[in-house]
Amino acid sequence: MTETPAQAAAHGTGSRARQYLTIFFVLFVLTVLEVGVAYVRGHKTEVVVVLFSLAAVKAACVALFFMHLKWETRVLRATVVVPLSLPVLYALVLITEAAWRRLAG
Amino acid sequence: MQAAAAHGHAAREVVWPQDPQFGRASAGKIAMWIFLVSDGLSFAGLLLAYGILRGESLVWRHPGEPELGIAFTAGLTFLLICSSVSMVFAYEAALHDQRKRAAVFLGLTALGGALFLLGQYNEYFGIFHPGLTKEGLVLGQSAYASTFYVITSFHGAHVFSGTLYILITLMRWLRGKATASQIELLGLFWHFVDLVWILVFTIVYLIPTG
């Protein structure tokens, strides 16, 4: 595992400023893309899938790099990710069920 | 104030022993993460309710109700992202004991939070334009209106408390009473507010209503 920002500072191995700026640039570009995609008309399912994918990448960037989850232990990462995956799973079940009802009805 | 820190009155960092499961994460950091997970589940409940109501409604946005302004809110999203960047720079500066630099970045982050709240006030009630309440989006009038106000104001309450948290930490930092670890905990909360907004912006504003 790579050093946490605190360990990097303690060992004098420099700052993560460049990495933070890269993530900022990625978040900016993805936000612009999201807004562009939101104005696309006529392909609602595709638009929704792309928007959720872009949001998931942005959220992961913030959690991994700005919140330093990338440098935490596997147990701490699991403590955060597992409970928050449950509502996502529930949403997928609801979407599947709604789609099934529409197809059946 | 900096002299106080230089003369040993500054709060000292507590180095946590290596733990086989949680590494060097302090008790404070683990507690903050547990709080954020529970808070995240609160937002998840609201967003799931939003999805169910919207998915089951025959008409989501009724005639006379305004569309939400994507361009303006994209600006607010960019503002929150900028404030997250200034927060990580504040933490970096605190780690390297660059006290003035850390204070400046904390101040900029608080300014970002305050501007976001001003933007949200403008969106609801209008400063530069009429505002959604005057354009016909009334709380309690429809599921579209109520879910919008409940979710965005719940997030706004987090921005407000986060901004207060930043200002209190900034004061303590200037007095030499706050540590880099405490700024990291503050950063966790602030980035969480940013992360949640990324999801709220996508789900509430960007998904087309047509």
Confidence of residue A11 (pLDDT cuts 50, 70, 90): low
Residue B206 belongs to domain spanning? 80-210
Number of domain units in chain B: 1
Nearest-neighbour CA in chain A from B190: distance (Å): 9
pLDDT of residue B207: 92
How many C-beta neighbours within 10 Å does residue B18 have? 8
Size of the A and B interface in Cβ pairs below 8 Å: 135
Nearest-neighbour CA in chain A from B85: distance (Å): 7
Cβ-defined contact of B84 to A66 (cutoff 8 Å): yes
Partners of B23 in the beta sheet?
B19
CB B47 within 8 A of CB B200: yes
Q: Which residues of B touch A90 (CB under 8 A)?
A: 48
pLDDT of residue B80: 97
pLDDT of residue B6: 43
Which of A13 and B50 is assigned the larger pLDDT?
B50
Number of H helices, E strands in chain B: 7, 0
| B208 assigned to some structural domain | yes
Distance CA(B53)–CA(B171), nearest Å, equals 44
Q: What are phi and psi of A59, to 5 degrees?
A: -60, -40
The identity of residue A61, as a single letter, is C
CB B90 within 8 A of CB B187: yes
Dump pLDDT digits (tens) for B97-108.
999 999 999 999
- Using CA atoms, how far residue B96 sits from A5, A9, A26, B43, in Å, is 10, 6, 26, 35
| B68 assigned to some structural domain | no
Q: What is the mean pLDDT of residues B17-33?
A: 86
Distance CA(B72)–CA(B124), nearest Å, equals 12
Q: Which residues of B touch A83 (CB under 8 A)?
A: 37, 40-41
Cβ-defined contact of B55 to A76 (cutoff 8 Å): no
Q: Which residues of B touch A80 (CB under 8 A)?
A: 33, 36-37
Q: Specify the residue for token string 């009805």.
A: A105
Nearest-neighbour CA in chain A from B193: distance (Å): 10
CB B177 within 8 A of CB B10: yes
| B153 assigned to some structural domain | yes
| B161 assigned to some structural domain | yes
Substitution target in A27, A44, A57 with the highest count of B β-carbons within 10 Å is A27
Q: Specify the residue for token string 């420099």.
A: A14
Distance CA(B162)–CA(B136), nearest Å, equals 30
Partners of B19 in the beta sheet?
B23
Q: What is the ipTM of this complex?
A: 0.89
Nearest-neighbour CA in chain B from A105: distance (Å): 14
Structure tokens at B154: 């719940």
- Using CA atoms, how far residue B81 sits from A66, B24, B78, B152, in Å, is 10, 28, 5, 17
Cβ-defined contact of A94 to B33 (cutoff 8 Å): no
For chain A, the domains span 1-72, 73-105
Q: Which residues of B touch A21 (CB under 8 A)?
A: 85
User: Is residue B192 classed as helix, strand or coil in its secondary structure?
Assistant: helix
Distance CA(B38)–CA(A19), nearest Å, equals 29
Angle of helix A17-38 versus helix A44-61 axis, rounded to 10: 170
The CATH number of residue B127's host domain is 1.20.120.80
User: Is residue B23 classed as helix, strand or coil in its secondary structure?
Assistant: strand
User: Is residue B142 classed as helix, strand or coil in its secondary structure?
Assistant: coil
Q: What is the mean pLDDT of residues A79-98?
A: 94
pTM listed for this prediction: 0.91
Cβ-defined contact of B92 to A15 (cutoff 8 Å): yes
pLDDT above 70 for A36 = yes
